[in-house]
Amino acid sequence: MHGSRRIGIGILLGLASGLAFGAGGAIVKPLLESGWSPGAAVFFRITVAAALLAVPGLFALRFDLRPLWRAKWTVLIYSVIAIAGVQLAFYTAIARIPVSTALLIEYLAPVALVAFAWVTSRRVPQFVVLAGSVVAIAGLVLVIGPAGGALDPFGVVIAGIAMIGVAVYYLLGERSDTGVPPIALAAAGCVIGCLVLGAAALTGLVPFEAEFTDIEFFGGVAPWWLPVLMVGAISTAFAYAAGIQAIRMLGTRLSSFLGLSEVVFAAIVSWVLIGEAIGPVQAIGGLLILAGIVLVRLERRTPDQPTPAPDLDLVRVPGAVAAGSPRQGDVP
């Protein structure tokens, strides 16, 4: 595939993933308002995604599970840290610190990746990348509006762990040398992730409460399973699959900054669907995030830099659940 076309498709997939993740907050909020705990909503969300992705994942592998076994450590780390771990860490954090603050810490992942590359390569990032990082994070602060006041140190540390999990999501998603197609990696991650979350719920590590009754849903009444299916199919199965494909096309740096579009989409979807107005400060923040993404995209590739991973034959399609703030918990 031609380079520019590949990058264009990768950007579209990254934005589609951000939109899908961002919509999850508005879709799940009615469940949380009806008495569901975040842990229960996350578990059902990941379980639905696992069920939807299992068969396509098997087809992508041609029903040969050996690639999964050969890449077992990548698959296991991706499942436990990038899917289940991020969810558990995020919800543990928001029990102790404001949601907006936890989101801000979690979405420092793109900057953490820039710093990681800086340390490991011993090469100072280009000025345009550093500028894009500053501009994008400034926009993130404006969109989320972190709360002030004293913070629980443990909550801050746990939110930092969630941030590391998001960074792992991008780092492992870029690996195309495992022989595991993107949709198969997403499927395996969701299957193992739902098992981990289920074990956490059974042991009491995560509060698990669910009300299997009709709920108010976007101005009407709907059965509880409708938002569960929607968030599982759109904001999890599709979002993870599209996100991994975008990462493999664009690399970790650009795709991680594209992931910041999720908070912008979350604010827009919440405004359209549940009437949560977007203020002028949030709008400015959204523009700054987009400007930061553009700056990072302007990075000039030097001859000794690796090129993006080669195409995979399957298009494959980065969280937690939400409610409240622009996107309480839709993480990759």
The string of pLDDT tens digits covering residues 115-127 is: 888 888 888 888 8
Rounded Cα–Cα distance for residues 223 and 271 (Å): 23
**Confidence class for position 331, pLDDT limits 50, 70, 90:** low
Under 8 Å between Cβ of 328 and 25: yes
Residue type, 25: G
Contact 87, 319 (CB under 8 A): yes
Q: What pLDDT sits at residue 323?
A: 36
Give mean pLDDT, residues 276-298.
81
What is the number of residues in the chain?
Answer: 332
Distance CA 296, CA 14 (A): 14
* Furthest C-alpha separation in the chain: 59
Question: 31-40, 179-188, 263-272, 323-332 — which is least confidently predicted?
Answer: 323-332
**pLDDT band with cut points at 50, 70 and 90 for residue 330:** low
Q: Residue 307: its pLDDT value, please?
A: 44
Q: Are 216 and 30 in contact (CB under 8 A)?
A: yes
* Average pLDDT score over residue span 6-28: 87
Q: Kindly report the backbone phi and psi dihedral angles of residue 222, in degrees, each rounded to the nearest multiple of 5, phi listed first.
A: -140, 155
Q: What is the pLDDT of residue 314?
A: 32
CA distance 57 to 129: 35
